[in-house]
């Protein structure tokens, strides 16, 4: 008995798709590219989604910003407001402010889109910052990802620039005061500050050109640069392969996870809509930047109790912390160091430090190898302490930006509170460094004890000889491997004043040795195979109860 098979003819859509795929494959080799990219494996961990939150927030910014650009008028021409917001009816204001009110009260969904745009901007910057925390604390910036770390720093700066230029566009009293602060900062630049200010504002502040110029930067220039940096950043992530946390079967030569297609493509699509839904929900119930409460910008009044968005607040805080005395005249010029130092020099040092740190750590350790396994923060105590110190410093600066509101809330003198924050700026970061470093080392000692002896069970056993000992539950092989897999760097020896041949060590050698001792002098040695074997098989506690903390050992600067 025979049967005749029939084939279902392909649909018109399937034929068109197949034809388009063949066309692209024959001309640009699309099949090979898609096949290789679709099989790209990515590890699975919740912290890796922080970068995705930043990416999706930026996409939402582009979508909502396109809607707002359809109705916003970037003009400082003065008109009389005749819109639907009664308290401001008949008030003279710029077209930019009037169009922002029109968006908020007369365009269906306009206020929601303004809220979505503003909240997306805040989340975009926050996600970038937290993502950089994860990269820094886990050492994901090490070779071959130093350049990608630099791109991340550039992306953070672009996010700040996008936030400030967009914050200034409504031309209300709050954003105008922010522009006035920026004008003062630029004026503080020695010699050329006045010329730069006149160029930007088209004359005396506020002029009639700053809003259109900020609009061009915010809508065309900065988004284009940001898109290019994001594309290059993601391309390098794919080229270098994704980092992963240590675990069984994970090495510097492989990636344990799931392929991009179909697993991660589906997860990424779903996660985008989750981020979108959360932003829309927040925008629907939490009002932000109610520009109608401030009124149009007028250079004469300055409202009290105003603070910039959180990501710019540290500059405002530094300006409030800086004493007013360092201002003097030199060769006919006014040097306002009380403005120039906190607003330009300190942020510049912060940016240079961020960019230089991966190269500094690589130089100190002498480690030129590629690293695809992430560090546990506790296993790099000095690096972790430096990161926490930077966070504490930022928090003090950010708190200083609200010293007036804090003084009112706590019934304190604003002068006393400012002096308290000045002391905190110099005292709290070193305290945070020491405490964080000691906590990391204590956690390393705990990990060492767990790897050697396991968990305490609370059961005490008496032997026939009358000896008492506590029974420990050993760790699984996978849990123990996580605790013992890391490498320990050892400090370089401090070079003598003169070598035996009479030559002197170079200043660079001495600096590198000093930094090496700063990073690695205090450390807890990881468990060695000999100690682990003794603990597991022989119970020779004498072999493992030896000093594990080396403070003055002189060895090379290479890892064990």
**402-417 tens-digit pLDDT:** 888 899 889 999 999 9
Whole-number Å distance between alpha carbons of 58 and 231: 12
* CATH number of the domain to which 53 belongs: 1.20.810.10
Whole-number Å distance between alpha carbons of 179 and 171: 9
Task: Write the pLDDT tens digit of every residue in 498-535.
Answer: 777 777 888 888 898 889 999 988 888 888 888 887 77
535 within some domain: no
- Four-residue CA torsion sign, 94, 98, 99, 103: positive
- The partner residues of 245 in beta bridges, in order of sequence, read none
Q: What are phi and psi of 126, to 5 degrees?
A: -60, -40
Strand ranges, E, within 203-349: 258-259, 327-330, 333-336
Whole-number Å distance between alpha carbons of 481 and 69: 55
Task: Write the pLDDT tens digit of every residue in 9-57.
Answer: 567 777 776 777 677 667 676 666 666 666 778 888 888 889 999 999 9
- What pTM did the predictor assign? 0.86
For residue 244, pLDDT beyond 60: yes
528 within some domain: no
Instruction: Specify the higher pLDDT residue, 262 or 508.
Output: 508
* pLDDT computed for residue 30 by the predictor: 64
261 within some domain: yes
34 within some domain: no
* pLDDT computed for residue 21 by the predictor: 67
141 within some domain: yes
455 within some domain: no
Work out how many domains the chain is built from and give that number.
1
Residue 262 lies in domain: 45-245+256-296+305-375
536 within some domain: no
518 within some domain: no
- Four-residue CA torsion sign, 546, 550, 553, 555: positive
């Amino acid at each position: 008995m025979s049967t005749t098979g029939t084939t279902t003819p392909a649909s018109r859509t399937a034929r068109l798709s197949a034809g388009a795929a063949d066309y692209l494959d024959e001309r640009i080799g699309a099949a090979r590219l898609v096949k290789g990219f679709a099989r790209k494996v990515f590890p699975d961990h919740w912290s890796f989604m922080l970068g995705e939150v930043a990416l999706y927030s930026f996409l939402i910014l582009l979508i909502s910003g396109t809607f707002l650009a359809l109705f916003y008028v970037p003009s400082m021409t003065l008109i009389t407001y005749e819109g639907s917001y009664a308290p401001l009816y008949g008030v003279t204001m710029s077209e930019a402010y009037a169009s922002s009110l029109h968006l908020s009260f007369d365009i269906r969904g306009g206020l929601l889109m303004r809220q979505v745009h503003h909240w997306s901007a805040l989340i975009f910057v926050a996600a970038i910052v937290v993502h950089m925390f994860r990269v820094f604390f886990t050492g994901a910036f090490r070779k071959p990802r130093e350049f990608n770390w630099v791109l991340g720093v550039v992306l953070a700066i672009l996010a700040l620039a996008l936030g400030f230029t967009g914050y200034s566009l409504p031309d209300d009293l709050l954003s105008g005061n922010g522009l006035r602060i920026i004008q003062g900062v630029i004026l503080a630049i020695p010699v050329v500050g006045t010329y730069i200010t006149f160029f930007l504002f088209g004359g005396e502040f506020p002029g009639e050109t700053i809003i259109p110029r900020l609009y061009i930067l915010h809508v065309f220039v900065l988004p284009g640069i940001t898109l290019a940096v994001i594309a290059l950043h993601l391309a390098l992530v794919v080229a270098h392969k994704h980092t992963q946390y240590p675990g069984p079967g994970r090495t510097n030569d492989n990636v344990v996870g799931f392929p991009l297609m179909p697993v991660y493509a589906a997860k990424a699509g779903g996660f985008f809509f989750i981020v979108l839904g959360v932003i829309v929900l927040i925008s629907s119930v939490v009002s932000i930047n109610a520009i109608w409460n401030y009124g149009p910008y007028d250079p004469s009044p300055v409202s009290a109790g105003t603070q910039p968005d959180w990501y710019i607040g540290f500059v405002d805080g530094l300006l409030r912390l800086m004493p007013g005395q360092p201002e003097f005249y030199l060769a006919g010029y006014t040097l306002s160091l009380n403005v120039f130092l906190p607003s330009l020099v300190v942020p510049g040092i912060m940016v240079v430090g961020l960019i230089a740190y991966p190269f500094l750590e690589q130089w100190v350790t002498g480690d030129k190898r590629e690293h695809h396994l992430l560090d546990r923060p506790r296993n790099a105590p000095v690096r972790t302490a430096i990161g926490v110190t930077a966070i504490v410093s930022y928090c003090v600066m950010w708190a200083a930006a609200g010293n007036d509101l804090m003084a009112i809330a706590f019934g304190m003198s604003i002068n006393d509170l400012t002096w308290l924050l000045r002391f905190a700026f110099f005292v709290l970061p070193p305290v945070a460094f020491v405490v964080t470093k000691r906590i990391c080392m204590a956690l390393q000692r705990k990990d060492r004890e767990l790897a050697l002896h396991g968990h305490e069970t609370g059961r005490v056993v008496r032997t026939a000889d009358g000896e008492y000992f506590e029974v420990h539950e050993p760790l699984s092989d996978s849990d123990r491997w996580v605790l013992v897999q890391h490498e320990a760097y050892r400090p370089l020896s401090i070079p003598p004043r003169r070598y035996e041949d009479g030559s002197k060590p170079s200043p660079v050698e001495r600096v590198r040795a000093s930094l090496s001792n700063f990073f690695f002098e205090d450390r807890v040695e990881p468990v060695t195979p000999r100690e682990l074997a003794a603990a597991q098989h022989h119970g020779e506690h004498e072999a493992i109860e030896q000093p594990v903390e080396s403070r003055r050992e002189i060895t090379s600067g290479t890892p064990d």
